Amino acid sequence: MTRPQSLVVVLGTATEIGKTWVSAAVLGELRATGTTVAARKPAQSFEHADLGGTDAELLAAATGEDPHTVCPEHRWYETPMAPPMAADALGQAHIALADLIDELAWPDPAPAVGLVETAGGPCSPIAHDGDGIDLVVRLAPDRVLVVADAGLGTISAIRQADIALEQRNAGPPLVHLNRYDPGDDLHRRNRAWLEGDGFELTTDIGELAARLRGSAAPAPR
């Protein structure tokens, strides 16, 4: 099976944290500099009003792929719940993690960077038998990217995500602080504290793209 030269799995510290925006932005940046990219969203749930701007559609716009290549049509669940809960609510079949993984078909030749975006937070269910971290463990990516907010609560949220990943031997992650404002004292202090914790951190999409393009090994912790 084809596998990207560098496989990245993206988790958020919570839902609505901006991981799709960050994913699309960094894929667009990579593509603009000549790096071949592809994106996959194993399953997505959404409201009807979101059509035209679902996660799969935003990722597809960034990579130049078809939205139903990014996320198979039968994995689009039109109700705003975790995918397995949405499937239950809609009376659809149970979602097996193994099936989601089998459906991750990549282009041939393999792209330089392939990104898989999960649903919700690290421990949010993406299948009836697995969550975001289970997906990370099964895929064994080259990089785990955790997208977090830059403001209040981010230190605890990132530490908890890191602990959950470490407990299942799926870390350490690369952390991106979304909406980071260098003029905000709290944002600067959060960044300094997290760097003091030893986290590999980015706050700029261009810097994040450079890290992913270089596919450097994670810094030791």
The per-residue pLDDT for range 143-159, each reduced to its tens digit, is 999 999 999 999 999 99
Q: Which residue has the tokens 């999960």?
A: 118
Alpha carbon distance 30, 8 (integer Å)? 13
- Which of 39-53, 58-72, 74-88 is predicted with the least confidence, judged by mean pLDDT? 39-53
Task: With a cut of 60, say whether residue 220 has pLDDT above it.
Answer: no
Which residues have CB under 8 Å from 106's CB, separation 6+?
1, 2, 3, 4, 38, 40, 114
* 146-158 residues labelled b (16+ CB within 10 A) or e (exposed): bbbbbeeebbebb
Per-residue pLDDT band for 188 (boundaries 50, 70, 90) equals very high
Mean pLDDT of the chain: 94
Q: Is the pLDDT of residue 216 over 60?
A: no
**DSSP code of residue 75:** G
Global pTM?
0.94
Q: Which domains does the chain possess?
A: 6-214 (3.40.50.300)
Least confident of 47-51, 147-151, 158-162, 209-213: 47-51
Q: What is the pLDDT of residue 89?
A: 98
Is residue 172 pLDDT above 70, yes or no? yes
**111-143 tens-digit pLDDT:** 999 999 999 899 999 999 999 999 999 999 999
Q: Which are the catalytic amino acids?
A: 41
Cα-Cα end-to-end distance for the chain: 32
